[in-house]
Amino acid sequence: MYVIGTAGHVDHGKSTLVECLTGIDPDRFQEEKDRGMTIDIGFAWVTLPSGREVSVVDVPGHEKFVSNMLAGVGGIDMALLVVAADESVMPQTREHLAILDLLGVTNGVVVVTKEDLVDEDWLELVYAEVGELLTGTTLEGVEVISVSATTGSGISNLMDSIDSALDKTTAKKDFNRPRLPIDRAFSISGFGTVVTGTLIDGFLSVGQEVEIIPIGLKARIRGLQSHGKSEANFGPGTRVAANLSGIESTQIARGDVLSFPNLIDLSEAFDVRLNVVEDAPNPLRHNMFVTLHTGSSEVVARLRLLEEEEVQPGNSTWAQLKPEKSLPVLRGDHYIIRSNMTTLGGGSILDTRAKRHRRRHLPTLQKLESLESGTPSEIILNIIESAVPSTLDSLLSSSTMQEEEIIPTVHLLIAEKALMSTSTSLEKSYFFTVKRWEEICGLTKQSLNLFHAQFPLRQGIPREELRNRLALSPESFNAVVNALEETKALRDFTSLIALTSHESHLTEEQSRISEVYVGSISKGKFSPRTDLEVDEDILNFLIDKGQLVRASDGIVFSSDAFEEMLDGVRSYISQHGEITVGDFRDLFQTSRKYALGFMDYLDQQQITRRVGDARILRE
């Protein structure tokens, strides 16, 4: 399925042409019909002579509504650039063409409308001006067809030309990451919420759970339609209307994106190739505010130039855009920036996880060059370097490559020791550049050495403390620990982590203190002293070594006494079915304080279970 978008100056006959081609009036609002001027994007469809059915997005031509035009052309496959024969090239003709050029639209047809209003000599002049206009743009060399929507002249030739142009148009690839930039959201009585847009990637199916990004609300697809026909699923390149359950239309706005839950991360800033249009009224300055258009969204953003203080009209540079709200964009997406109702420039997004860069920093500029035109290996290494660590899913979402290309490249990089994988299963692995992996290993060893030197009696560093030092997510941290444990670099005690070489031991003085403390505790047997003071690390060491058991704060039993009480409790319950705190107190001739502390500890250890005032053994 393909989507065709119109473009051109106001009152050059775009909507009339669409209605003539499709039989559908794309103007949806009464105000548009009354004024004879398109205000918002409209939609239609037609079956071409080849039999292929295509969607048509009609856009407004007035300079006041270019923002609406941008909401509709983001997902088109080819353009119909409309030029009225009686007026020829006008300001929005140039601006719309510049937008198509910045969006990378390479296929199309120029339609010279209203040919019945001019003579042949004038028409030739229009053709010449159009040819000059297209020179140096992505639409240079496309076919120019003159028509009259009033008389029907040239319409048949135009349909054939559209077919021919589509033969040279590459269909949208399926990267298995469905994205529907929403251009309309409304409610239909008896159906509920409906959203429409051009599906630019992946497949949508009835019954799927989806998420509206960036608001984060979940919904379920109740039904899908395209061109008035319902289907169970639709693929990339299709104009889709999705009927959603579990969400109100008032919660959704143009610019939101329909996708799968947790599939697309929001970007706070992204690195871009910025091409400034030749007609820009002034140079673009570092840190200026612009209006950013991408997908169907429109948002204010700060423009950070990475090479110079300003960039002149007609020039290209590396830049970073920081929108005022995070956006669900992916590498390879196109964007447009405008200011004061004027298109300034645009280009493609290279890195959606961009950090604040030093300006004029050669390694950063070289990395962006590699991301734009490097080999698959260079692109993957650069993506991983800027988003350490990465998974196979994040590589898919951060690149414009498909899984069939990424997996062999990752295998090659691992074999060349340019990439470190935490698992032999790529689907379960986290990837690090070798440099970053060495940094992780070095920081891990350093952190553990420092901790063991500071707390020699402790078994290891708390897991969360080490994770914070490494600045990793819980999932990637676990993968790193597992990988390092396999190489015998460390030992994982679940809640604690230690170097393999670490063995806690007491000094002579600590051994003497421990001997006295354990002796005093053992002497008290079932009612040990609670006024004894000992270093917490020594106490934990003795507990780890199995010499003592801490039942609660302040109550510590010798392991021999604990085992004797545990055997007694099990025997008593076996004979009597249950035991109370009073029964325990009498059985071991101790106080209620010790009985309660011991019984609560057994409950915590899942040995007993409380039933009313008594305890029974757990199965």
Q: For 288-299, how does the pLDDT look when each residue is reduced to its tens digit (9 = 90+)?
A: 999 999 999 999
CATH at residue 553: 1.10.10.10
Is residue 337 in some structural domain?
yes
What is the DSSP pairing of strand 108-113 with strand 78-84? parallel
**Contact call for residues 271 and 351 (beta carbons, < 8 A):** yes
Q: State the pTM of this model.
A: 0.75
CB contact burial 458-472 (16+ within 10 A = b; e otherwise) = bbbbebeebbebeeb
Where a domain ends, among 259, 281, 302?
Answer: 259
Same domain for 450 and 379, yes or no, is: yes
Which candidate, 327, 260, 280, 318, places its Cα nearest to that of 300?
327
pLDDT tens readout for residues 524-537: 899 998 888 888 88
Which candidate, 61, 113, 110, places its Cα nearest to that of 84?
113
Return d(Cα 58, Cα 55) in angstroms, integer.
Answer: 10
Structural domain that includes position 9: 2-167
Where a domain ends, among 480, 504, 528?
Answer: 504
Q: What pLDDT is recorded for position 396?
A: 79
Which candidate, 351, 354, 348, 349, places its Cα nearest to that of 380?
351
Q: What pLDDT is recorded for position 71?
A: 82
In 387-433, which ranges are continuous DSSP H helix? 392-398, 403-415
| 31-342-200-209 Cα dihedral, nearest 10 degrees | -70
Determine what percent of the chain is predicted with pLDDT higher than 70: 97
CATH at residue 160: 3.40.50.300
Is residue 100 in some structural domain?
yes
Same domain for 9 and 157, yes or no, is: yes
- Which residues does residue 274 pair with via DSSP β-bridges, in sequence order? 317, 347
Q: What pLDDT is recorded for position 354?
A: 86
Where a domain ends, among 142, 167, 192?
Answer: 167
Q: Report angle CA 43, 325, 344 to the nearest 5 degrees.
A: 65
What is the DSSP pairing of strand 284-285 with strand 310-311? antiparallel
Is residue 367 in some structural domain?
no
Same domain for 187 and 283, yes or no, is: no
Q: Is the previous residue joined to 281 through a cis bond, with omega within 30 degrees of 0?
A: no
CATH at residue 238: 2.40.30.10
Please state the rounded mean pLDDT for residues 281-309.
95
Supply the DSSP symbol for 1.
-
Supply the DSSP symbol for 327.
B
Same domain for 211 and 330, yes or no, is: no
Please state the rounded mean pLDDT for residues 39-58.
89
Count: domains in the chain: 5
Is residue 349 in some structural domain?
yes
Same domain for 400 and 474, yes or no, is: yes
Please state the rounded mean pLDDT for residues 580-602.
93
Q: What pLDDT is recorded for position 29?
A: 64
Phi first, then psi: what are they for 517, rounded to 5°? -65, -50
**Contact call for residues 499 and 449 (beta carbons, < 8 A):** yes
Same domain for 391 and 446, yes or no, is: yes
Same domain for 230 and 289, yes or no, is: no
Which candidate, 269, 336, 337, places its Cα nearest to that of 306?
269
Same domain for 155 and 200, yes or no, is: no
- Which residues does residue 239 pair with via DSSP β-bridges, in sequence order? 198
Is residue 53 in some structural domain?
yes
What is the DSSP pairing of strand 555-558 with strand 579-580? unpaired
